[in-house]
Amino acid sequence: MLVGIVAGAALGLGANELVANRLLAKDVVDSVIEWAAFPAGQIFLRLLIMLSVPLIFSALVSGIAELDPRALGRMGLRTLGFTTLVSALAVVTGLALVIGLAPGEGDTTELVRLAEELAAGRPPIKPAEGAGITGVVTMIPTNPIAAAANDNTLGVIIFALVLGVGLAAVRTDNSARLREAIGGLNEVCTRLVEAVMRIAPIGVAGLLFASFANLGVDLLARIGAYVGVVVLALVLHTFGTYAVLLKLVARRSPWAFFSQIKVAMATAFATSSSAATLPTTLHVAEHDVKLPRHVSRFVLTAGASMNQNGTALFEGVTVLFLAQVFDVDLTVSQSLVVMLICVLGGIGTAGIPGASLPVIAMMMAMYGIPAEGLALILGVDRLLDMCRTTVNVAGDLVVAACVARSEPAET
Ligand code: ASP
């Protein structure tokens, strides 16, 4: 997998450079992407995504059906508590760095002009809707099949939670058969994921080649300070906050832990989607980290969509960076609201590529930051998405390890 990542990224960057220096025709690179990198990457990605809905559903229902309701309540509260705590710490780290290092302060006329240029003719990103109480109410799907069909992962999770609780409560012969069938679906999906992971190195190389060959290297250099702040904050959060939590709460060696979860982190990096990575995350939790199944199935399926520290951090840094660039002064209380929305945004953002952008667009509209600002970061978003998704997935596993520490062994 590592070979796939390094080879795909290096070849993609090399192709990017050759095209920029007119040593290679852009058409040649586009053909390589169209006929080799795209199919290899997308087949791998789509197989993982295809398995993610049945896997989320079956893992969560069977996980919950095995629990007694008190254990479920306790685990749910702990998961929510850790998720909120680590998300808040992530946002604070990001905001402290973006305020302290101020990558968007100074003479920004150039950047503002560039943003306008990049935004011209591009449809604006639709701001996220449904914040506040409506957002909470509409989390409950009216039709579970429609939720699955429309990639509403949160809806699937909520339905699975409710069905799992029902299965735990109803102890009849028929319900036992249903529980067995859903357990069987889970075993089959798990095995299929193992099979898909065999083509991971090729798929990952394809995904990375396509991303890096199209990376806006020129743009990257111009907003390098912002990219640097995002990456630095993500690194500090991962090797600072996560490492402390692992040591103090989960009582595990952080280095051993990161080494055990490297395949999940690499898959997240390559796919930019926590939902697509979930099958691998579950596999790694069980086989490499050796977390109890009833904990990992519950915490990780819920976490893939609800515990997104990297996303929360990224949203905060980006909104404040764009406010600096466009000279919009945010008061302390406005910055605190940004922080709160980012923590909630981390919970409400879907685990798919680019899902942060509508949340950022919504905050920009709230504070009068010109919408074209977002165009400035779109060219580097894929790279940052890879980085923040890696942190999201690592965060799910860290929270699972922390919750597992205080849970009795499997029942
Ligand atoms: N791509 C991220 C994830 O799947 C979500 C985002 O920040 O866009 O975790």
Reported as a single tens digit per residue, the pLDDT across 32-41 is 999 999 999 9
Mean of the per-residue pLDDT values of the chain: 89
How many Cα atoms within 13 Å fall on the side-chain side of residue 223?
28
pLDDT above 80 (res 130): no
Range of 122-136, 183-197, 396-410 with top mean pLDDT: 183-197
pLDDT above 90 (res 268): yes
Q: Is 392 close to ligand 1, i.e. is its CB under 6 Å away?
A: yes
Pocket test of ligand 1: the residue of 48, 265, 271, 274 to mutate, having most ligand atoms within 8 Å of its CB, is 274
pLDDT above 60 (res 410): no
pLDDT above 90 (res 252): yes
| Superfamily designation of domain 2-405 | Sodium:dicarboxylate symporter (1.10.3860.10)
**Alpha-helical regions (H) of 214-355:** 217-222, 224-236, 243-245, 254-260, 262-271, 274-287, 293-306, 309-325, 332-348
pLDDT above 90 (res 239): yes
Task: Name the one residue in this structure whose structure tokens are 């795209």.
Answer: 38
135 vs 46 pLDDT, higher one: 46
CA of 25 to the centre of ligand 1 (A): 33
Q: Is 352 close to ligand 1, i.e. is its CB under 6 Å away?
A: yes
> What pLDDT, on the 0 to 100 scale, is given for residue 251?
95
CA of 382 to the centre of ligand 1 (A): 10
pLDDT above 60 (res 143): yes
> What pLDDT, on the 0 to 100 scale, is given for residue 131?
59
Output the CA angle 259-310-387, nearest 5 degrees: 60
Q: What band does 341 get if pLDDT is binned at 50, 70 and 90?
A: confident
Record the tokens describing residue 306, joined without a space: 């609800």
Please provide residue 124's backbone torsions phi and psi, each rounded to the nearest 5 degrees: -70, 155
> What pLDDT, on the 0 to 100 scale, is given for residue 132?
61
Give the mean model confidence (pLDDT) for residues 37-66: 89
Give the mean model confidence (pLDDT) for residues 373-389: 91
C-beta atoms surrounding 3 within 10 Å: 10
Cβ–Cβ under 8 Å, residues 315 and 356: yes
Q: Where are the domains of the chain?
A: 2-405
CA of 267 to the centre of ligand 1 (A): 13
Nearest CA to ligand 1 atom 1: 353
Q: Is 307 close to ligand 1, i.e. is its CB under 6 Å away?
A: no
How many Cα atoms within 13 Å fall on the side-chain side of residue 179?
19
pLDDT above 70 (res 160): yes
Q: Is 271 close to ligand 1, i.e. is its CB under 6 Å away?
A: no
Task: Name the one residue in this structure whose structure tokens are 């605190």.
Answer: 336
Pocket test of ligand 1: the residue of 306, 313, 388, 390 to mutate, having most ligand atoms within 8 Å of its CB, is 388
pLDDT above 90 (res 215): no
pLDDT digit string (tens) for 316-336? 999 999 999 999 988 888 888
| Least confident segment among 19-23, 152-156, 283-287 | 152-156
CA of 147 to the centre of ligand 1 (A): 19
Q: Is 308 close to ligand 1, i.e. is its CB under 6 Å away?
A: yes
C-beta atoms surrounding 403 within 10 Å: 27
> What pLDDT, on the 0 to 100 scale, is given for residue 110?
85
**Alpha-helical regions (H) of 22-152:** 26-32, 38-65, 69-101, 109-119, 132-137, 144-149
Burial class (CB within 10 angstroms; exposed 0-12, middle 13-18, buried 19+) of 43: middle
Give the mean model confidence (pLDDT) for residues 143-172: 89
CA 317 from chain centre, in angstroms, equals 16
